[in-house]
Structure 1
Amino acid sequence: MLVVVANDLPPAVRGRMKLWFTEPRPNVFVSGVKDSVAETVVSYLYKHCPPEAGVMFFRSINRPPGFELKSIGPTKKRQTQICGLPLVIEAQQND
């Protein structure tokens, strides 16, 4: 599985992503593509997205923790690692 979350994708890249992925929200793409296809898509995004696009990838892998987290440029969400586990920091909501 591959999940791609972006701040702002170039129109040509976003249109191409819509061919293979479901877009549940603007600039959020989800697909159950095979590992080889996921690698191809990630390579394509690295080649065609400027750092301003702020792209974050979540890709399933066959070793702990079961997913890989990578990004291109600064994203709206901060990332951290705790004991080797990559995490995304969410802002605390006051109820």
Structure 2
Amino acid sequence: MLVVVANDLPPAVRGRMKLWFVEPRANVFVSGVKDSVAKTVVDYLYQHCPPESGVVIFRSLPKPPGYEVRTVGPTRKALTEISGLQLVIETLKNQ
């Protein structure tokens, strides 16, 4: 499975993504493509998305921990790695 979340994709990239993925929300793409196709899509995103796109890519892997997180450019939420697990940092706002 491949999930792509972006702040803002170029129109040509977004149109191409709609060919392979379901877009449940704007700039959120989900697909169950095979690993070889997922690698091709990730390579395409790295080649065609400028850093200001803020892309986060979640890809399932057949080995532990079962997923990989990659980014293109700065994102709204920071990533960290703890004991080999890649995690997205959520900040709590004061209520």
TM-score, reference length from structure 1: 0.95
Kindly provide the amino acid, as one letter, of the partner of residue 88 in structure 2. Answer: V
Matched position secondary structure for 2:16: helix
Kindly provide the amino acid, as one letter, of the partner of residue 66 in structure 2. Answer: G
User: What's the CA shift string for 1:59-90, capped at 9, x where partnerless?
Assistant: 00011100001101001111011111000011
Kindly provide the amino acid, as one letter, of the partner of residue 31 in structure 1. Answer: S
Identity, in percent, stands at 73
Residue aligning to 1:31: 31
Aligned pair count reads: 95
Once the two structures are superposed, the pairs formed by residues 1-20 of structure 1 within 5 Å of their partners are: 1-20=1-20
> Structure 1 unaligned runs (5+)?
none
Segments ≥4 residues shifted beyond 3 Å: none
Residue aligning to 2:57: 57
User: What's the CA shift string for 1:30-73, capped at 9, x where partnerless?
Assistant: 00000000000000000000001011100000111000011010
Residue aligning to 2:92: 92
Matched position secondary structure for 1:46: helix
TM-score, reference length from structure 2: 0.95
Q: Distance in 2 between matches of 1:15 and 1:72?
A: 18
RMSD: 1.0
Q: Distance in 2 between matches of 1:32 and 1:38?
A: 9
> Structure 2 unaligned runs (5+)?
none
Q: Is residue 2:76 matched to residue 1:76?
A: yes
